[in-house]
Amino acid sequence: QSVLTQPPSVSGAPGQRVTISCTGSSSNIGAGYDVHWYQQLPGTAPKLLIYGNSNRPSGVPDRFSGSKSGTSASLAITGLQAEDEADYYCQSYDSSLSYVFGTGTKVTVL
């Protein structure tokens, strides 16, 4: 089954902007299915961060934003903070009737 591709790691200094890419295919993101993002802090369960490509659940700071274009999506974190150090996963749906996750990206705050 398909997997979405993310960079293994990204890093930035406090206050900087970082972006995480999520590359899919014509059977998932490119087929028009929404992309969602999850944040997983060390030792905890994943938490919904962005849904429907670009929407934030209540309580998620507006420094997190998402976008989608073609067969890819991206997550941006502006004004990076120490508490943003975590693993981030994108997720979509595939025409094979399965859910697909990204490979995951570790964000390090320098």
Partner 1 sequence: EVQLVESGGGLIQPGGSLRLSCAASGFTVSSNYMSWVRQAPGKGLEWVSVIYSGGSTYYADSVKGRFTISRDNSKNTLYLQMNSLRAEDTAVYYCAREGYCSGGSCYSRVHGYWGQGTLVTVSS
Site residues (vs partner 1, CB under 8 A): 1, 33-34, 36, 38, 40, 45-48, 51-52, 55, 57-58, 87, 89, 91-93, 97-104
CB 74 within 8 Å of CB 24: no
Nearer to partner 1, 3 or 79 (CB): 3
Tell me if 21 sits within 8 A of 74, measured CB to CB: yes
DSSP tag of 60: S
Give least dist CB 13 to partner 1, A.
Answer: 26
Q: Are strands 105-109 and 9-12 parallel, antiparallel or unpaired?
A: parallel
Considering the complex, state which of residue 13 and residue 45 has its C-beta at the smaller distance from partner 1.
45
